[in-house]
Homo-oligomer: A and B are copies of this chain.
Amino acid sequence: MPKQVDHRERRETIARALWRVVEQRGIAHASVREVAQEAGISHGAVQHYFATREEMLVFAMDFASEQTSLRVAERVAELGDAPHPRDVLRVTLTEMLPLHPEARATSRMSAAYVLEALHDAHIHARAREGLTHGRDLVEDLVRQAITDGHIDPDRDPAIETNLLLALTGLTPLVELGVIEPREATTTIAHHLDRLFTNRP
Contact = CB atoms under 8 A, between A and B. Distances in A.
A2 interface: no
Interface residues of A, number: 47
Given A162-B179, A163-B190, A183-B162, A173 B131 contact: yes
Chain copies in the assembly?
2
A28 B113 CA distance: 13
B191 A24 contact: no
Interface string A39-56: 000000000000000000
Contact of A114 (B163, B172, B194): B172
A165 interface: yes
Contacts of A135: 173, 178-179
A118 interface: yes
Contacts of A106: none
B114 A118 contact: no
Best-buried of A118, A135, A168 by chain B (most CB within 10 Å) = A118
What are the nearest 4 A-B pairs in CB distance? A169-B169, A28-B28, A166-B169, A162-B187
16 contacts: A26-B116, A28-B28, A111-B114, A111-B115, A112-B115, A114-B175, A117-B175, A131-B176, A131-B178, A135-B178, A156-B190, A162-B170, A162-B173, A166-B166, A166-B170, A169-B171
